[in-house]
Amino acid sequence: MPARRDLLRFMAAGGLLAQVPLRVHADVWQDSFAQAVQRDPWLRGFRSVQRETYDSQATVAGRWPAGLAGTLFRNGPARHEIGNFRYHHWFDGDGMVHAWRLGPAGVRHQGRLVQTRKLLAERAAGRALYPGFGTLPPDPAPVTSADDVNVANISVLPHHGKLLALWEAGSPWEIDADSLATKGLYAFNDDMAGVPFSAHPRVEPDGTLWNFGYVSDGGFIVLWHIDRNGQVVKAGKVDVRPMTFPHDFLVTSRHIVLLLPPLDYTGGRAADFLDAHEWHPDRPTRVMVVDKNDFSRVQWLELPAQWVFHFGNAWEDNQGVIHFDGARAPEPSSMLNAFRAVMRGERGDTATFVHHHYQVDTRKGTVAETPMFDRGFQSEFPVIDPRVSTLRNERLVFLCTDDAHRVVHPLLNGVAVFSHAKDHLQTFWYGDNVIPEEHLFVPAPGSRPESDGWVVGTAYDAVADQTRLNVFDVRGIGDGPVATATLDYGLPLGLHGKFSGA
Ligand SMILES: [Fe+2]
């Protein structure tokens, strides 16, 4: 295990965040957004949250499934403005953790802004203070560590009795699972305190957890192996210069897989983290395959330049072939352009995300990719039954949009269940002005993996200005929700969640 100081040496300058600002945007963003949201209701999903906390009962309609009980924890960017300043990227919003407590007696929603160092410091100062992912406020304060600007806004992880709110380039934040109060930065042990722990850990059915973190100025990726009790089994690092930033990764029974897109970290004097990167479409995406038992054993392969935020699952057959799937775009314009533009109330440029199946032959040293659907059918937020994570999965659940179901907003507008074995796709399309967020597969208690269960996900109705939780039978998603739970308010569009059974 590398000494903590080894990892922190490269992070000491802030890694992600120690750029010296050269330019400051004239901040007309708040005015521009305020005008645009009057014209286009769907933009309400990107308004800044007006409350620190929520706690209310939702209105349930339909027939609530008898076995569906537990908590859907979610996270996402929520506070997008402070004072007269609006952030310049969706991913800069300060995180709000939500708990949707589900059961036959009703549905309760709680939400609470994570009380990060940054939130508290900015509240005390009465203004935006720090450079972020895609934002540079006027007169930014110096950043001494990544956790100074850790906004805890991407996902949540219930694990070993803890609830952790996850960012990408810093520590988890521990959250009280009942009250959603922030307990503080979380360290798995003293040696690993402050080492980046990304927002998409992979958890095997027995609770074994794997994750990565990236250290931009150090030029390396950290790998984590944690047991079901939250003890660090081992950690390591892999040098990956030129550095980039992967968002998600994959784990099989034997290997860890990361795709490293040619979005190179240039470091130096840039305005914000995104502007410290350059896209090189002429260069390959590197595929890094690491032995789970020995992090020093790394195999390198290459795919064409591409951008994948999210993968569904990976598994490995007994011929040493790794199979995985992901929502593949040819380039990262959605992140570089569209998720900035939306903060000004504009539609930016975005590439098409088409779900792909990948095969890595670890013995022959080859990799191949194949589109799973027609180009007009787009996917994102792929998930599986968590009981087959890292094992062969039959089903895939994801959000979608396609050319035949265009709506008034440019975001995803459907949810789909795909069966690999049957090559069968079922979809449900939300209407105009309804924007679904990530939907999860929630197994029915006592059922066999990938048999009975529900697809559970939230959606924002921009005209009614209400957020609604939708429950589908996984076998008949095309029939629409069997039950819904509607809040009398709308929530800012969020990112990821996890379901924790009763
Ligand atoms: Fe993500």
How far separated are the first and last CA of the chain, in Å rounded?
36
Number of domains in the chain: 1
The rounded Å distance from CA 308 to ligand 1 centre is: 10
The rounded Å distance from CA 118 to ligand 1 centre is: 21
pLDDT at res. 200:
98
At residue 269, φ and ψ (nearest 5 deg) are -95, 100
The rounded Å distance from CA 310 to ligand 1 centre is: 6
The rounded Å distance from CA 167 to ligand 1 centre is: 10
Please give the helix or strand (H or E) that residue 139 lies within, else none: none
pLDDT digits (tens, 9 = 90+) for 138-195: 899 989 999 999 999 999 999 999 999 999 999 999 999 999 999 999 999 999 999 9
The rounded Å distance from CA 341 to ligand 1 centre is: 19
pLDDT at res. 270:
59
The rounded Å distance from CA 369 to ligand 1 centre is: 21
Q: Is the dihedral of CA 33, 39, 43, 46 positive or negative?
A: positive
Residue 302 near residue 232, CB atoms below 8 Å: no
Assigned token pair, 351: 């590439």
Below-70 pLDDT ranges, the chain: 1-26, 268-270
The rounded Å distance from CA 307 to ligand 1 centre is: 13
The rounded Å distance from CA 364 to ligand 1 centre is: 31
Using CA atoms, how far apart are residues 269 and 318, in angstroms rounded to an integer?
Answer: 48
The rounded Å distance from CA 182 to ligand 1 centre is: 21
91-127 in b/e form (b: 16+ CB < 10 A) is bbbbbbbbbbbbeeeebbbbbbbbbbbbbeebeeeee
What is the β-pairing status of strands 466-473 and 483-486? antiparallel
Assigned token pair, 491: 């929530």
Using CA atoms, how far apart are residues 444 and 431, in angstroms rounded to an integer?
Answer: 28
The rounded Å distance from CA 129 to ligand 1 centre is: 25
pLDDT digits (tens, 9 = 90+) for 294-323: 999 999 999 999 999 999 999 999 999 999
Q: Could you say which DSSP state residue 207 is in?
A: S
The rounded Å distance from CA 247 to ligand 1 centre is: 6
pLDDT at res. 314:
98
Residue position matching structure tokens 């895609």 = 134
pLDDT at res. 465:
98
Using CA atoms, how far apart are residues 268 and 19, in angstroms rounded to an integer?
Answer: 6
The rounded Å distance from CA 355 to ligand 1 centre is: 15
At residue 287, φ and ψ (nearest 5 deg) are -110, 120
Helix/strand/coil for 372: coil
- Between vectors from CA 52 to CA 456 and to CA 179, what angle results, nearest 5°? 60
The rounded Å distance from CA 61 to ligand 1 centre is: 30
The rounded Å distance from CA 244 to ligand 1 centre is: 16
Residue 322 near residue 359, CB atoms below 8 Å: yes
The rounded Å distance from CA 213 to ligand 1 centre is: 13
The rounded Å distance from CA 199 to ligand 1 centre is: 7
pTM: 0.94
The enclosing domain of 62 has a CATH number of 2.130.10.10
The rounded Å distance from CA 102 to ligand 1 centre is: 24
At residue 183, φ and ψ (nearest 5 deg) are -90, -30
The rounded Å distance from CA 84 to ligand 1 centre is: 29
Nearest-CA neighbor of 223 among 130, 328, 139, 294?
294
Residue type at 203 in one-letter notation: V
pLDDT at res. 268:
64
The rounded Å distance from CA 19 to ligand 1 centre is: 24
At residue 429, φ and ψ (nearest 5 deg) are -105, 125
pLDDT at res. 218:
93
The rounded Å distance from CA 125 to ligand 1 centre is: 30
The rounded Å distance from CA 413 to ligand 1 centre is: 18
Instruction: Please return the burial class of 465, using the count of CB atoms within 10 Å of its CB with bins 0-12, 13-18 and 19+.
Output: middle
The rounded Å distance from CA 225 to ligand 1 centre is: 20
ω into residue 242 within 30 of 0, thus cis? yes
Please give the helix or strand (H or E) that residue 92 lies within, else none: none
pLDDT at res. 421:
85
The rounded Å distance from CA 66 to ligand 1 centre is: 31
Using CA atoms, how far apart are residues 275 and 133, in angstroms rounded to an integer?
Answer: 9
Residue 355 near residue 398, CB atoms below 8 Å: yes
The rounded Å distance from CA 73 to ligand 1 centre is: 15
The rounded Å distance from CA 496 to ligand 1 centre is: 7
Alpha helices in 53-185 (DSSP H): 117-125
Nearest-CA neighbor of 200 among 209, 192, 191?
209
The rounded Å distance from CA 397 to ligand 1 centre is: 15
From residue 346, alpha-carbon distances to 26, 84, 370, 472 in Å are 17, 19, 33, 33
The rounded Å distance from CA 319 to ligand 1 centre is: 31
The rounded Å distance from CA 312 to ligand 1 centre is: 11
Q: What is the DSSP annotation of 252-284?
A: -SSEEEEEE-SEEE--SS-SSTGGGEEE-TTSP
Q: Which domain holds residue 482?
A: 4-501
Residue 471 near residue 477, CB atoms below 8 Å: no
The rounded Å distance from CA 94 to ligand 1 centre is: 15
Assigned token pair, 64: 């609530």
Please give the helix or strand (H or E) that residue 419 lies within, else none: strand 414-419
The rounded Å distance from CA 299 to ligand 1 centre is: 25
Using CA atoms, how far apart are residues 470 and 61, in angstroms rounded to an integer?
Answer: 10
At residue 335, φ and ψ (nearest 5 deg) are -80, -40
The rounded Å distance from CA 495 to ligand 1 centre is: 7
Using CA atoms, how far apart are residues 77 and 90, in angstroms rounded to an integer?
Answer: 7
The rounded Å distance from CA 438 to ligand 1 centre is: 10
Alpha carbons within 13 angstroms on the beta-carbon side of residue 489 total 14
Assigned token pair, 175: 């959250």
The rounded Å distance from CA 154 to ligand 1 centre is: 6
pLDDT at res. 269:
59
The rounded Å distance from CA 286 to ligand 1 centre is: 20
Residue 95 near residue 116, CB atoms below 8 Å: yes
pLDDT digits (tens, 9 = 90+) for 410-445: 999 999 999 998 889 999 999 899 999 999 999 999
